[in-house]
């Protein structure tokens, strides 16, 4: 872990803690930094604004979780990691997802899901669809899983992650077809 | 066709024609009714407002298309009818889908897709999943197909229905898994 990321992590930790306690719109940069040993200016050395911080938190935390398991045979583990992460942070993400001013975070979330799905689908096509390898078809498969999954995870968080990770994971695995 | 629907259809036809020519926000009820032989008041005998008219047009026209083919064995035909309908009306629906004031029409669109997917998935589960028949699982399958498909159709219309119906239909059939 670099020094730069350590500072970012400390700022993130402060923000996530505050976000679970009060409305996100009520949290100022001063609030966030008051909880750390840094000056207010340090925030701007690392982030443009609160929105930049929110997207960084998500990208950084999920990339730590999933970087080693983005291939087809591990798709169920990847999904499990992601569900576990969202459930562990459900108070925080419910606030983020339901804040209409942060509506564009959804695009960021979809973008992340798409990147993961893309890697997995590519891996599947490479190993299983020798004869009918087709770029257009692969893109459609990717889009379909991306939109289906993003919206389901989004709504799951908004419903307080019920059913819980283990049960929801099993249901998803069982109910989402993956045979072509 | 009832008299009530005939009047509604005439009003709808007038609105759809205007919507292809000018910005939806610029179309007044007076505009719409001036193109018909009815008085302005007749609009309000049938619809609450423009939004009510837009949702009626979609529900009425797609229900005519799809009412006889909402079961599992016909799922590809149903999808084809829907794509054909959207492509035939692509100038109109691109305007509707890209108007942010009509953002809640998307919910109506998703609701319609969900109803159709639900009927088809129920039919599939009834006939193919004897041993593992499971309400939760059926709901997850329905949600996944609903969100995946709605978003793909939405974005397809926004990209001027390219690739065209026949090709897009073939791609979807090929790339969306339906074996469990």
**Residue A62 CB neighbour total at 10 angstroms:** 18
Q: Which residues of B touch A134 (CB under 8 A)?
A: 174
Subunit contact B176:A140, Cβ cutoff 8 A: yes
The Cα–Cα gap between A137 and A71 comes to 18
Distances in whole angstroms, Cα of residue B88 to Cα of each of A20, A145, B105: 49, 27, 19
**Residue A72 CB neighbour total at 10 angstroms:** 17
Distances in whole angstroms, Cα of residue A112 to Cα of each of A84, A154, B169: 16, 13, 27
- Picking from B151, B174, B178, the nearest residue to A137 by CB comes out as B174
Q: Does residue B121 contact residue B141 with C-beta atoms inside 8 Å?
A: yes
Q: What is the mean pLDDT of chain B?
A: 91
| Predicted local confidence at residue B168, as pLDDT | 97
Residue with tokens 């840094």: A38
CA distance A146 to chain B (A): 7
Subunit contact B140:A177, Cβ cutoff 8 A: no
Q: What is the DSSP letter of A35?
A: T
Residues of A with CB under 8 A from a CB of B: 132, 134, 136-138, 140-141, 143-145, 147-152, 155, 163, 171-172, 174-180
Q: Is the pLDDT of residue B4 over 70?
A: no
Q: Is the pLDDT of residue A143 over 90?
A: yes
CA distance A33 to chain B (A): 37
pLDDT in tens, B64-122: 887 777 778 889 999 999 999 999 999 999 999 999 888 889 999 999 999 999 999 98
Residue A47 makes CB contacts below 8 A (sequence gap 6+) with A8, A11, A53, A56
pLDDT in tens, A28-80: 999 999 999 999 999 999 999 999 999 999 999 998 887 777 788 889 999 99
User: Mutual orientation of helices B165-175 and A135-158 as an angle, nearest 10°?
Assistant: 70
Tokens encoding B110: 């998703």
The Cα–Cα gap between B108 and A158 comes to 20
- pLDDT band for position B175 (50/70/90)? confident
Q: Is the pLDDT of residue A141 over 90?
A: yes
Q: List residues bridging with A179 in a β-sheet.
A: B179
The Cα–Cα gap between A25 and A12 comes to 16
Q: Is the pLDDT of residue A147 over 70?
A: yes
Q: Is the pLDDT of residue A180 over 80?
A: no
| Predicted local confidence at residue B101, as pLDDT | 87
| Predicted local confidence at residue B22, as pLDDT | 93
Distances in whole angstroms, Cα of residue A122 to Cα of each of A112, B9, B158: 16, 47, 26
Record the pTM: 0.90
Q: Is the pLDDT of residue A132 over 60?
A: no
| Predicted local confidence at residue A177, as pLDDT | 84
The Cα–Cα gap between A96 and B89 comes to 37
What does the H/E/C string look like for B105-170?
A: HHHHHHHHHHHHHHHHHHHHHHHHCCCCCCHHHHHHHHHHHHHHHHHHHHHHHHCCCCCCHHHHHH
Higher pLDDT, residue B179 or A37: A37
Q: List residues bridging with B179 in a β-sheet.
A: A179
| Predicted local confidence at residue B131, as pLDDT | 54
Residue with tokens 């459609």: A140
Residue with tokens 């589960």: B125
- pLDDT band for position B172 (50/70/90)? very high
The answer regarding whether domain A50-175 maps to CATH 1.10.357.10 reads: yes
Domain assignments of chain B as residue spans, ordered by start: 1-47, 50-175
The Cα–Cα gap between B66 and A37 comes to 63
- pLDDT band for position B2 (50/70/90)? low
Subunit contact B171:A136, Cβ cutoff 8 A: yes
Q: What are phi and psi of A179, to 5 degrees?
A: -100, 135
pLDDT in tens, A10-34: 999 999 999 999 999 999 999 999 9
Identify which of A162, A178, A177 has the alpha carbon closest to the alpha carbon of residue A83: A162
Residue A148 makes CB contacts below 8 A (sequence gap 6+) with A176, B143, B144, B145, B147, B148
Identify which of B100, B71, B96 has the alpha carbon closest to the alpha carbon of residue B86: B96
- pLDDT band for position B132 (50/70/90)? low
Subunit contact A179:B177, Cβ cutoff 8 A: yes
| Coil/strand/helix, residue B179 | strand
| Predicted local confidence at residue A178, as pLDDT | 80
The Cα–Cα gap between B155 and B174 comes to 19
Subunit contact B171:A147, Cβ cutoff 8 A: no
pLDDT (mean) for B23-37: 95
- Picking from B147, B174, B178, the nearest residue to A152 by CB comes out as B147
């Amino acid at each position: 872990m670099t020094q730069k990321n350590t500072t970012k992590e400390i700022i993130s930790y402060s923000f996530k803690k505050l976000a679970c306690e009060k409305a996100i719109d009520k949290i100022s940069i001063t609030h966030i930094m008051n909880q750390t040993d840094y000056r207010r200016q340090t925030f701007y050395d690392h982030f443009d604004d609160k929105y930049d911080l929110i997207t960084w938190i998500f990208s950084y935390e999920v990339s730590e979780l999933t970087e080693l398991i983005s291939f087809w045979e591990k798709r169920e583990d990847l999904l499990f990691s992601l569900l576990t992460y969202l459930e562990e942070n459900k108070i925080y993400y419910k606030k983020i997802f339901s804040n209409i001013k942060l509506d564009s975070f959804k695009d960021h979330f979809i973008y992340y899901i798409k990147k993961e799905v893309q890697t997995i689908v590519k891996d599947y096509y490479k190993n299983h669809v020798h004869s009918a390898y087709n770029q257009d078809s692969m893109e459609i498969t990717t889009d379909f899983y991306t939109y289906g999954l993003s919206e389901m995870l989004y709504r799951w968080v908004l419903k307080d992650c019920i059913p819980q990770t283990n049960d929801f994971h099993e249901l998803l695995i069982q109910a989402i077809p993956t045979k072509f």
